[in-house]
Structure 1
Amino acid sequence: MADAQTTLARYYDKRGDYGKALAYLEKSLAIRREIGDRAGEGTTLNNLATTAYAGGDYGKALAYLEKSLAIQREIGDRAGEGTTLNNLATTAYAGGDYGKALEYLEKSLAIQREIGDRAGMIPTLHNMAHIYLQNQQLQASLQAFGEALQLCHETNNAEGFFNVSLNLGNLLCQLDQKEQGLPLLEQALAVGQQLGHPQTSQVEALLRQFQ
């Protein structure tokens, strides 16, 4: 029954009817609580948060995520805890609370290091780098970008490599460190063309600008 409610919620979510999607997810949540499915409850709360976020209700999304986080800590789901912390960071960032977003990301990164989730560390470090840059913490930003780039190489993550090399290459060129930045942009272009990435044209524009 809970899965059926979730399926209906996805249907309405895709149609942009977030109110109905939330209603079906709330029914799914009630069923999972009734049968004592704590893991499913945590997942459903994350789904509720995603739908609330899509509807622009960041406060409600944060409330759902905090409840999900409490359950994941209770049942010892470290990977799920890391994911929820990332979702909390995204929601806090969207609401303009960059300090809180960074705090969530730092906690998520600590868990990812602990459990060896190198793939998960890439977007976490990438997002941290952007917030550091907004906070004028240039060295911290460069360090986070650099570690993310290294992890992309180690895990053969082409999508991650494209995103990180694009942003780091652009930053280095803006800092007049073109000898380091341009090769990254050229590598991003090559990978972007292989992937058919929609942002490849952005890399081409940056190369024309800085060369």
Structure 2
Amino acid sequence: VSEAPPKEARSGIGSALNNIGTTYIDLGQYNRALEVLQQALEIRRALGKREEEATILGNIGSVYNLLGEYSKALEFFQQALAISKELGDHSGEATALNNIGAVHDNQSQYTQALEFYQQALKIRKAIGDRAEEATTLNNIGNLYIKQGQYSQALEFLQQALAISKRIGDRSGEATVLNNIGNIYDNQSQYPKALEFYQQALAIHKEIGNRANEGNTLNNIGGVYKSLGHYPKALEFYQQALEIH
């Protein structure tokens, strides 16, 4: 006669499945991620672990967002938001709000995106979550870049950069430096763009973030192309290609 595993064992299985699911996300294997995360979700619901259920709902929402299935992404993020509010989990609430903002952002619905980002930012400031505050500031900065509002973008990105430096978040610092480079690049201020891209590139190399290193190499290649320095542009494009 088979026995159901005890609660503790099932909880451990649920955690392991969630970890496997997020690893599949990192690997870009989204269908596998969904399959595993759905199993983790069923276990969390059966055990009544509401906070962890919200986390997994958020992870599933992130997969749908990456797949461009935005209505499904919103559905899962809104479920996560409702649970976090019900539990008084302010960190989880801010994460869900930020994620909902990102879905609107990806659909160029900038007014709605900004509204949700601002709500997330307010909570993250209130609870002192500096790393996630910087993430949301960066998101708002990028949103303004997309709209060509460069002075506002720079204001938010400089705030994000200051926080990332203060807390020693090298990955976050490099991301923001790259995005500030984008502002100057878009304004044809190529020496300044190169300055920020080179700073970002050095950090990406230092921490071994190959994907972002490739992205920044590509950006540097673009600057040299815009300047008409084609052999130099080709050199950076080829380095980016080797990584991608």
Q: TM-score range by the shorter chain?
A: 0.7 to 0.9
Q: Give the residue type in structure 1 aligned to 2:180.
A: L
Taking a change above 3 Å as real, the CA distance of residues 160 and 28 of structure 1, as seen in their structure-2 partners, is: closer
User: For residues 28 and 201 of structure 1, do their structure 2 counterparts lie closer, same or farther at Cα, with a shift above 3 Å needed?
Assistant: closer
Establish whether residue 62 from structure 1 lines up as the match of residue 78 from structure 2: no
Q: 1:205 to 1:69 in 2, by over 3 A?
A: same
The equivalent of 2:221 in structure 1 is 205
In 2 relative to 1, CA 127–31 (structure 1 residues): closer, same or farther, beyond 3 Å? same
**Aligned counterpart, 1:86:** 98
Cα drift, residue 107 of structure 1: 1.0
Number of aligned positions between the proteins? 210
Supply the distance in 1 between the matched residues of 2:65 and 2:53 (Cα, whole angstroms): 18
In structure 1, the partner of 2:233 is none
SS of alignment partner, residue 114 of structure 2: helix
1:172 aligns with 2:184: yes
Give yes or no for contact 1:186–1:207 (8 Å, CA) kept in 2: no
Q: Is the alpha carbon distance of 1:158 and 1:34 closer, same or farther for their aligned partners in structure 2, counting shifts above 3 Å?
A: closer
Letter of the 1:49 counterpart: G
Taking structure 2 as the reference length, the TM-score comes to 0.70
Amino acid at match of 2:45: R
**126-135 or 194-203, which moves further after superposition?**
194-203
The Cα of 1:36 is off from its aligned counterpart by 2.6
Which of 110, 126, 137 is the equivalent residue of 1:98?
110
Alpha-carbon distance between aligned partners in 1 of 2:33 and 2:202, rounded to the nearest angstrom: 40
Q: Which has the higher contact order (CA 8 A, sep 6+)?
A: 1
CA distance in 1, matches of 2:205, 2:45: 47
The one-letter code matched in structure 1 to 2:136 is T
The answer on whether the counterparts of 2:14 and 2:44 sit within 8 Å (CA) in structure 1 is no
Q: Distance in 2 between matches of 1:116 and 1:136?
A: 30
**Structure 1: where are the runs of 5+ without partners?**
none
Q: Tell me the alpha carbon deviations over residues 2-45 of structure 1, each in whole angstroms, 9 at most, x when there is no partner.
A: 65367557469938473x75466445434433433211221222
Counterpart residue number, 2:13: 4
Q: Secondary structure at the match of 1:199?
A: helix
Q: How far did 1:70 drift?
A: 0.9
Corresponding residue for residue 169 of structure 2: 157
**Aligned-pair distance for 1:109?**
0.9
Per-residue deviation at 1:110? 0.8
Unaligned runs of 5+ in 2: 1-9, 230-244
Aligned residue for 2:63? 51
1:122-137 correspondence to structure 2 within 5 Å: 122-137=134-149
